[in-house]
Amino acid sequence: MTAANEAKDILERLGAGGPIWSSDGLEVRSPIDGSTAGRLAETPDLDPVVARAVEAFHAWRRVPAPRRGELVRLFGEELRAAKDDLARLVTLEAGKIVSEGLGEVQEMIDVCDFAVGLSRQLYGLTLPSERPGHHMRETWQPLGPVLVISAFNFPVAVWAWNACLALVCGDPVIWKPSEKTPLTALATQAVFQRALARFGDAPEGLSQVVVGGRDAGEALAADPRIPLVSATGSTRMGKAVAQTVAARLGRSLLELGGNNAMIVAPSADLEMAVRAIAFSAVGTCGQRCTSLRRLLVHESVADALVARLKAAYETLPIGDPRDDGVLVGPLIDADAADAFDAALARAAEQGGEVVTGGARLNRDGVYVRPAIVRMPAQTEVVMHETFAPVLYVLTWSDFDEAVALQNAVPQGLSSCVFTDSVREAEQFLSAWGSDCGIANVNIGPSGAEIGGAFGGEKDTGGGRESGSDAWKAYMRRQTQTVNFSSALPLAQGVRFDV
């Protein structure tokens, strides 16, 4: 069965099959075989979408947070029931292998569980007042409609990171998915509607999907009725969103590019490192923001490690991600393959030597052999993030040099070191170590758990989503002071008697 026909069957089962066909709408192709999986009518008018979200906010903020958590709990139940179908649709539309599709939906379920517990822990502070008979406290209040702009590589999980937290915080959500993967968004919305039906008294407009391209995202980001814009994508896109939102003094939560490195020390377990490198560099065909792009290896173990990696790469099963045993599926589209080719050409111009990979496969869809490239230095092409499976290998002789190499790129998302040295591990995690938002020891840079706040620094945007106290981004902070005395003392001893 073509990927398109299978996608249509799944959409029908999930209750999202009706709106996917339009004579002149947005064409959605499966990267697996290039077949047209849907042609969607773009959302014609954005103003009613935002107006409904504003009205929903006025009602939803009055609902107690634990009750809001109940809706998210029901959504988690519906996701469990729809997991296989929704995961399959992720595979069909984004090209992920089956286990990755299942893992993405499981991540949504896990975030639901996290958010349900969070709905009873939106805690503030009690503060001592300098004035007698006064009580001070800091509380967190619902913020307003949240716009989520998601990328193709995690077509549903990143939305869930934002939406589940926003909903328990009292905020409606408007979702503008990537124009490359809108079918999974429509399917997820259909699953969410089942939870809404069971919940019973939620306002209309609590969760909405907008189908459209860049223009739709720009228009929504500029709307002053939306206090928070959470955007995932390229650094170029994030800078445009940030400027648009800042111009109206709104908030932006940005998850942008990553140029992630692994430092391999002489004491490292090379077998473990090879396994970590393989998943981090070629998983999702190198199309994760946390994908491993740079391998910084001590000169004494570089040849041995590269030889092991070459052997592992040359046995990688590449093909239809629906097939058993396949570990590398397709790139999302021809543009991604062109970027892959261009990066390899630039690397060669800058002194790089391809160790293995780099060719396209002759089949429907866009498939490539992941490449390993040894570089003489951290050149311009290495400093740039190419969203494809290209792994650059550089060597070092001093650990301080390795950390400096890692930190020298504009991006600052994820990082890791493989070492058995406590000193090296602790230096890597110190204030003068990795400058990234994520720093791991003896774990690859990809595959973060939802319990920790996810995000990075520098050109990665500075945003934090999912776990820890990331929920605070979706709320407004309020300092409250109550005078329960019969006097009116002023702070700092100011006297103003009338």
Q: Which residues are catalytic?
A: 255, 289
Query: What are the CA-CA distances from residue 384 to residues 13, 387, 407 (Å)?
Result: 42, 10, 13
Strand partners, 440: 416
Q: Which two tokens stand for residue 151?
A: 């990328």
Residue 328 DSSP code: B
Question: 159: how many CB neighbours lie within 10 A of its CB?
Answer: 27
Q: Which two tokens stand for residue 276?
A: 């970590």
Map residue 121 onto helix, strand or coil.
coil
The three-point CA angle 306-308-314 to 5° equals 100
The length of the chain is 498
Q: Which two tokens stand for residue 426?
A: 């602790």
What's the rounded Cα separation, in Å, for the pair 138 and 125?
5
Q: Which two tokens stand for residue 41?
A: 């009518």
What's the rounded Cα separation, in Å, for the pair 162 and 166?
6
Q: Which two tokens stand for residue 131?
A: 């004035």
Q: Are strands 36-40 and 146-149 parallel, antiparallel or unpaired?
A: unpaired
User: What is the separation of C-alpha 270 from the centre of its chain, rounded to a whole number of angstroms?
Assistant: 29
Query: What are the CA-CA distances from residue 492 to residues 133, 483, 489 (Å)?
Result: 15, 16, 9
Q: Which two tokens stand for residue 360?
A: 């396209």
What's the rounded Cα separation, in Å, for the pair 59 and 167?
12
Q: Which two tokens stand for residue 35?
A: 């077949």
The three-point CA angle 94-98-101 to 5° equals 55
The dihedral built from the CA positions of residue 130, 131, 134 and 136, taken in this order, carries a sign that is negative
Helix-helix angle 65-94:182-199, to 10 degrees:
150
Burial (CB count within 10 angstroms: exposed 0-12, middle 13-18, buried 19+), residue 398: exposed
What's the rounded Cα separation, in Å, for the pair 8 and 5?
5
The dihedral built from the CA positions of residue 195, 209, 468 and 418, taken in this order, carries a sign that is positive
Q: Which two tokens stand for residue 241?
A: 């969103």
